[in-house]
Structure 1
């Protein structure tokens, strides 16, 4: 097994691990419950880690995670109220109108 990266939280660690597994690179999350020891241990040592089952997948896995972190975000103006809506939202946060097709 090969440690790939530390994740900032358990949610992202699980998301990244699942993405890698779906891409054919078996991965697991380690140290996901160590956050409760922060204070007794240095906080950066308590972050969850992504581990690859096969070390030869490391370069491809890092490239996939980099690609995931640099996805373009959608941006649209609400047709009902004109509010600018950013991110993955398909509904206006201000008036509730749906994103135009």
Structure 2
């Protein structure tokens, strides 16, 4: 087993592990419950970690996580003139669906 990343919180760690599973890379989340002891041990030592089961998949897993972390954000202009950013598929101002 190899550690490939530290996640900022347990929710992100679980999301990353699930995405790796979908890509055929067996990964697990370790240390996801250590946040409760932050202060007793250094906070950076309490972060959840993503580990891959098969060492030969570590490089592919790191590459996939880097790609997932740098996805471009969408931006579109609604018919009402509002600029909508991020992953929203409808306008927050008027409710129209993304064209």
Q: Which runs of 5+ in 2 are unaligned?
A: none
What's the CA shift for 1:57? 0.6
User: Structure 1 stretches (4+) deviating beyond 2 angstroms?
Assistant: none
What residue is the counterpart of 2:50 in the other structure?
A: 50
Aligned position for 1:88: 87
Shift of 1:99: 1.0
Superposed CA RMSD:
0.9
Q: For residues 14-56 of structure 1, give each alpha carbon's deviation from its aligned partner in whole angstroms, at most 9, with x where no partner exists.
A: 1110111111110000111111111111111001000100111
Q: Does 1:97 align with 2:96?
A: yes
Q: 1:30-69 alignment to 2 at 5 Å? A: 30-69=30-69
User: Aligned equivalents of 1:33 and 1:94: distance in 2?
Assistant: 40
**3-state SS of paired residue (2:50):** strand
In the TM superposition, residue 13 of structure 1 has moved relative to its aligned partner by 0.4
Query: TM-score with structure 2 length normalisation?
Result: 0.95
